[in-house]
């Protein structure tokens, strides 16, 4: 069992500002993961590159996250949460600065790698500091506040990116990170606690196996939905999963694996990980499919489609004020089972309007979805951490971060793949979108069965 050393600080100030520090990290990472999408044509034109080549800039960032996220727990344990988080902010800001002043695609890709290294460390380390600071009964409230940007970022990203490209220039989609990073840096210098592990042993072999698995899965997920030659992409996907099972065997025999086998023996953690993967398979693509439908099928602009999904962010914030009361009254098992089914039904309802309907019919559906998504993500994230021991927090938090990153990618690729399949068989584009929403909704409803394996008392240590 590992022991941890803490540098004493004013506890009240830490608890006040630490969720804000984590929310800043999550917001920048989520915003940066989506804001580039609407700006790629403008950047490609400036660089004199085909738009298809610009995917390298997105891929560079995603793959860097996949490689470095697994090592965040070790780095935080060895060098301290404060030092590693400050380093991550500096790297993220430096990468953003270099992205903003890139002169060609190669410069941009290198800058995105630097930015990705910072991004891979930033959120997991801040979340780890929060987990170690707050007692279990206060964790839901703290996480509930900090997780709001994770719901807002993907919605605001395309909208903010579109406005910046139209009214300023593409450079500002990166430079906007600099003042936000500065605020995060000033707060973390003063209020971020520093904790280290007294037992350090880096599992190099395990890291290489898991990083290779994560890398191959991330590449295949990014390429799968747009692949013309599916076989090599599918091969990478299969090899990635084989390496995951290879790591699982390695974790049985290594003395101090990067992700210990004991993590998977914690039932609530195991179900939280599986639940994240399964439910995000249906949920993650919706914030992309709706704007795509509004633009391609209804012929509206990117800005209009961005505003149409904006209510999702507002109702997500509103939903946060109900999460704790809902969990206290119904518990995690009932909340997650019922809430997952509700989300699936709402997604199915997106298939009702036809292509002659007003686009404003989607606004209430988007708003309702945002409310229940906020309940879902807070519940899944906190139940995953409910029964972890102190010595498991570093590795468990890192694995949860990697899992969420992959789950979002799987969900988006799955949604686009289903849409493409229906496009090939339907002459009416709107029908293809309707069938896709039905598949996504039914997939989400089915995934709710996973949470039946939770016990009614699970998460009781998190409830007030």
- What percentage of the chain has pLDDT greater than the value 70? 89
Domain check: are 102 and 220 in the same one?
no
Query: Does one domain contain both 267 and 368?
Result: yes
Give yes or no: residues 186 and 215 share one domain. no
Q: Provide the number of structural domains found in the chain.
A: 3
Q: Note down the domain range covering 122.
A: 1-198
Measured CA to CA, the distance from residue 323 to residue 271 in angstroms comes to 20
Shared domain for 147 and 81, answered yes or no, is: yes
Domain match, 118 and 148 both: yes
Q: Could you report the per-residue pLDDT of 255-295, keeping only the tens digit for each?
A: 677 788 888 888 888 898 888 888 988 888 887 788 878 87
User: 174 and 40 in one domain?
Assistant: yes
Say yes or no: 167 and 294 in one domain.
Answer: no
Contact by Cβ (8 Å): 312, 286: no
Average pLDDT over residues 167-183: 85
pLDDT at 95: 92
User: Residue 63 is encoded by which pair of tokens?
Assistant: 């793959």
At 178, which CATH number? 1.20.1250.20
The predicted pLDDT at position 7 comes to: 45
Q: Each residue of 348-384: pLDDT tens digit?
A: 999 988 878 888 888 999 999 989 988 998 888 888 8
Distances in whole angstroms, Cα of residue 151 to Cα of each of 378, 414, 449: 10, 20, 24
pLDDT confidence tier of residue 440, bands split at 50, 70 and 90: very high
User: pLDDT at residue 303 above 80?
Assistant: no
Tell me the pLDDT tens digit for each residue of 310-362.
788 788 888 877 888 888 888 899 999 999 999 999 999 999 888 788 888 88
Q: Are residues 98 and 238 in the same domain?
A: no
Residue 437 predicted with pLDDT over 80: yes
pLDDT at 443: 93
As a whole number of angstroms, the distance between CA 56 and CA 110 comes to 10
174 & 101 share domain: yes
pLDDT at 198: 66
pLDDT mean over 395-406: 82
Highest mean pLDDT among 64-73, 347-356, 393-402: 347-356
How many of the other CB atoms lie within 10 Å of CB of 197?
A: 18
- Are 26 and 173 part of one and the same domain? yes
Q: What is the mean pLDDT of residues 420-425?
A: 83
Query: How many C-beta atoms lie closer than 10 Å to residue 360's C-beta?
Result: 9
pLDDT value of residue 245: 84
* Predicted confidence (pLDDT) per residue in 90-146, tens digit: 999 999 999 988 888 888 889 998 998 998 888 888 888 888 888 877 777 777 777
pTM for the model: 0.80
Q: Identify the CA nearest to 310 among candidates 329, 294, 333, 332.
A: 294
Residue 92 confidence (pLDDT): 93
Task: Measure the CA angle with vertex 464, ends 190 and 77; round to 5°.
Answer: 40
Q: Clarify whether residues 158 and 16 are in a common domain.
A: yes
- Judge if 67 and 11 occupy the same domain: yes
Q: pLDDT value at position 9?
A: 56
């Amino acid at each position: 069992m590992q022991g941890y050393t803490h540098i004493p600080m004013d506890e009240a100030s830490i608890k006040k500002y630490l969720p804000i520090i984590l929310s800043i990290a999550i917001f920048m990472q989520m915003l940066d993961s989506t804001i580039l999408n609407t700006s790629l044509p403008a950047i490609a034109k400036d660089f004199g590159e085909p738009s298809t080549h610009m995917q390298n800039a997105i891929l560079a960032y995603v793959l860097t996250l996949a490689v470095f996220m697994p090592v965040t727990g070790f780095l935080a344990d060895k060098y301290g949460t404060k030092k590693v988080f400050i380093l991550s902010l500096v790297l993220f800001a430096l990468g953003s600065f270099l992205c903003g002043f890139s002169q060609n695609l190669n410069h941009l890709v290198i800058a995105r790698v630097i930015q990705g290294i910072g991004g891979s460390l930033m959120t997991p380390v801040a979340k780890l500091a929060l987990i170690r600071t707050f007692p279990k009964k206060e964790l839901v409230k703290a996480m509930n506040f900090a997780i709001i940007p994770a719901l807002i970022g993907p919605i605001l990203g395309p909208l903010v990116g579109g406005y910046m490209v139209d009214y300023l220039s593409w450079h500002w989609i990166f430079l906007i990170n600099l003042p936000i990073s500065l605020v995060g840096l000033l707060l973390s210098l003063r209020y971020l606690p520093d904790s280290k592990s007294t037992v350090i042993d880096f599992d190099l072999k395990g890291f290489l196996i898991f990083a290779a698995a994560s890398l191959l899965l991330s590449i295949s997920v990014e390429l799968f939905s747009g692949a013309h030659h599916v076989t090599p992409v599918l091969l990478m996907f299969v090899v990635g999963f084989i390496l995951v099972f290879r790591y699982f065997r390695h974790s049985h025999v290594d003395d101090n694996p990067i992700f210990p086998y004991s993590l998977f023996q914690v039932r609530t953690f195991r179900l939280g990980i599986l639940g994240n993967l399964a439910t995000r398979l249906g949920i993650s693509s919706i914030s992309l499919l709706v704007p795509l439908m509004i633009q391609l099928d209804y012929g509206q602009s990117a800005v209009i489609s961005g505003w149409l999904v904006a209510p999702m962010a507002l109702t997500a914030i509103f939903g946060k004020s109900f999460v704790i009361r809902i969990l206290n009254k119904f518990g995690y098992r009932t909340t997650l089972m019922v809430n997952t089914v509700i989300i699936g039904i709402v997604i199915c309802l997106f298939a009702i309007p036809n292509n002659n309907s007003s686009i404003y019919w989607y606004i209430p559906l988007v708003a309702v979805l945002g409310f229940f998504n906020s309940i879902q993500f807070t519940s899944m994230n906190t139940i995953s951490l409910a029964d972890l021991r102190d010595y498991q927090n570093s590795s468990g938090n890192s694995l949860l971060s990697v899992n969420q990153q992959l789950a979002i990618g799987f969900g988006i690729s799955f949604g686009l793949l289903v849409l493409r399949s229906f496009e090939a068989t339907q002459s009416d584009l709107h029908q293809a979108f309707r069938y896709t929403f039905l598949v996504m909704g039914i997939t989400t409803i089915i995934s709710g069965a996973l949470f039946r394996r939770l016990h009614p008392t699970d998460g009781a240590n998190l409830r007030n």
